[in-house]
Amino acid sequence: MKREDFEHKMVCLSQGNIFGKPSLHTVQVEGKNLVIKDVRRKVFPVRWTLGLWLIQREWKIYSRLSGITGIPKPVARIDRFAFTMEFVPGRPIQRGEILPAAFFKELEQILDKVHSKGVVHLDLRHKGNILITEKDEPFLIDFNSSFAFKEKGLFRRYLFPLLRRVDYGGLLKLKQRVCPSSMTPEELVRLKHLNRLRRFWIFN
């Protein structure tokens, strides 16, 4: 894919931020709706440092997670500053809405598969990172804050299990915030323990 072939057709969804978070666009290419994550229009110092690092890292993470149901599929790398991925027709979770009992169970299964690839999301408390499809299926998006660990090594052995617990705590906190009546006594106890751990997480 070449930028000049579709740049004039892009529709902006989000401008990102000045700290390197990619801009988000949609575009239709050969009849398919795609999402473009792009840092090319960031200011020069950010574009060539943090922006470049973030876009490369997130592309690698989506590529590692390719094939997992509930994760948008990566499509193509446009250039060093941008990539395209599958457009998922869905909407963010709304506070207080009633969700099917199976929804959070499916979401946890998606998270389990993400973790099996050595990836942690680290931003599950943000309800905008979970999409609901027309069939009430969950999709986990936005891996801009995520980390991917090698299969072996000290970080995978000692740090990864801790960050994985941060993810599960974020999932339970999201469930409590959105649909508190669905929390089981066991989940409330688990969340209490995980919140104690999260106090030591520097990115709270």
pLDDT tens string 29-85 = 888 999 999 999 888 898 999 999 999 999 999 999 999 999 999 999 999 999 999
Half-sphere exposure at residue 19, Cβ-oriented, CA atoms within 13 angstroms: 2
Q: What pTM does this model have?
A: 0.89
Given the structure tokens 């986990």, which residue do they identify? 140
How do residues 95-151 score in pLDDT, each as one tens digit? 777 787 789 899 999 999 999 999 999 998 888 899 999 888 999 999 999 999 998
Q: What are phi and psi of 2, to 5 degrees?
A: -110, 135
| Sign of the dihedral through C-alpha 67, 68, 74, 75 | positive
Q: Give φ, ψ of 11 to 5 degrees.
A: -115, 120
Report the phi/psi class of residue 126: left, alpha or beta, with left for phi > 0 and alpha for psi in -120 to 50.
beta
Domains and CATH numbers, the chain: 3-86 (3.30.200.20), 91-198 (1.10.510.10)
**Which position has the token pair 């978070």?**
21
